[in-house]
Amino acid sequence: KAGVTQTPRYLIKTRGQQVTLSCSPISGHRSVSWYQQTPGQGLQFLFEYFSETQRNKGNFPGRFSGRQFSNSRSEMNVSTLELGDSALYLCASTDRDRELFFGEGSRLTVL
Amino acid sequence: AQKITQTQPGMFVQEKEAVTLDCTYDTSDPSYGLFWYKQPSSGEMIFLIYQGSHDQQNATEGRYSLNFQKARKSANLVISASQLGDSAMYFCAMRLQGAQKLVFGQGTRLTINP
């Protein structure tokens, strides 16, 4: 089975721009969640989708949004980028109430 | 609220030695799962081992074992016969039963010296 695939792996944006990150889960996994990792705040939960519905959301401003498609692929969007949004964004998928399987992440740099 | 504490920011170990990475957790929920992940410099979070709160025995996966002490709320990871490839960040995490998110600790950077 292919693992979780995230694109793009690296990207550079400037303040005020927006960005869309993509995640393809492991085949058969219907739950996809997103995490932000920064040196200062560590790993923080953004949101989780299951069967195209957002089930849970972390404590992030409304500039952070996401969606899930019928094939379970997910995207997250960050609008009006700020310097503090520079981070590694990790996507994870699962098919049960146990371990999450993560992708390699999308490393965003905001200049 | 749930919290995971990893008190060792960094550890240095000689190759082939065993190493214990500490993790304590805090929750009032009776049902939860505890996880350890490894993150090499590439960024990917690699699942290592899982322990359920109601599991009677400590979990083991190859060279990884989890020393689960429920009364002390600790879930230490033990790596036996360490290898150079074990050098990475290690994260302890918790997930409440039915919840959709993992709560992570701050991580421990493990360096294996030849």
Digit-coded pLDDT (tens) for B7-66: 999 999 999 999 999 999 999 999 999 999 999 998 999 999 999 999 999 999 999 999
Where residue B100 falls among pLDDT bands split at 50, 70, 90?
confident
* CA dihedral sign of residues A40, A41, A46, A48: positive
CB contact under 8 A, B43 and A42: no
Q: Which of A48, A101, A107 shows the shortest C-beta gap to B100? A: A48
Distance from CA of B9 to the nearest CA of A (A): 12
Which residues have C-beta within 8 Å of that of residue B86, sequence separation ≥ 6?
B19, B38, B79, B110, B112
CA-closest candidate to residue A102, choices A49, A14, A26? A26
CB atoms within 10 A of CB A48: 26
Distance CA(A100)–CA(A32), nearest Å, equals 9
CB contact under 8 A, A33 and B101: yes
CB contact under 8 A, B44 and A48: no
CA-closest candidate to residue B79, choices B11, B4, B24, B17? B17
pLDDT score of B96:
87
- Alpha carbon dihedral A41, A43, A46, A49, in 10-degree steps, equals 180
CB contact under 8 A, A43 and B104: yes
In chain B, residues with a C-beta closer than 8 Å to the C-beta of A98 are 33, 50
pLDDT score of B10:
95
CB atoms within 10 A of CB B22: 17
Residue stretches of chain A with pLDDT short of 70: 1
Interface list for B 41-100 with A (CB within 8 A): 42-47, 50, 91, 93, 95, 97-100
Q: Which of A56, A88, A97 shows the shortest C-beta gap to B97? A: A97
